[in-house]
Amino acid sequence: MVRVLGIDPGLQRTGWGVIDLHDNHMRHVANGVVSSTQSLSLAERLVQLFSGLTDIINEWSPDEAAIEETFVNKNPVSTLKLGQARGAALLAPARLGIPVTEYTPNAVKKTVVGAGHAAKQQVEMMVSTLLPGCQIAGPDAADALAVAICHAQHAGTRAMMNRYHNQNGGSAR
């Protein structure tokens, strides 16, 4: 069994979701949002995000983490702040020795919904379908669970390819 932490970074709200993957079967474990206080300095807000994610990692003990890559906004200041929040989110699992994989927003949506430009409502609906009984703590948590599902799907594909490779004596016939 592999436990995966999905992260949807944001400066105001960073979504997180934890799933277990066992033999290509996914099970919801937990999800939520880490928020930062808007009245604090940027540095203090980044500490809040980092600390909140570190607490989640300590509580749920994921084996792997996956994070959504930053997309470029029309507003360069917003893009820069999102990048800084993403840096704090990348650092939390990495500092604890957890491998982190990054996925583009389109790759996440395509994996979960089947279309790279799916609406947030479609993503949330598919997450609920793929993780039955899951009570999603809002759109940011749904996006984080989608990142975890994307990672689980890609991890399953990598495992199959490795098994094939090993069974065929290292040659890709």
Residue 72 sits in a domain whose CATH number is 3.30.420.10
156: confidence class by pLDDT, cuts 50, 70, 90? low
Which candidate, 70, 11, 15, 80, places its Cα nearest to that of 40?
Answer: 11
Residue 127 lies in a domain: no
Residue 154 lies in a domain: yes
Question: Domain range holding 8?
Answer: 2-112+135-166
Average pLDDT, the chain: 89
Whole-number pLDDT of residue 172: 47
Active site residue 68: yes
Question: Exactly one of 20, 64, 68, 124 is catalytic; which is it?
Answer: 68
Question: Exactly one of 8, 20, 124, 143 is catalytic; which is it?
Answer: 8
Q: Would you say residue 129 has pLDDT above 70?
A: yes
Q: What is the pTM of this model?
A: 0.87
Please report the DSSP string for 15-62 in residue order: EEEEEEEETTEEEEEEEEEEE--TTS-HHHHHHHHHHHHHHHHHHH--
Residue 48 lies in a domain: yes
Residue 57 lies in a domain: yes
Active site residue 63: no
Count of structural domains, the chain: 1
d(CA 51, CA 28): 23
pLDDT in tens, 2-47: 999 999 999 999 999 999 999 879 999 999 999 999 999 999 999 9
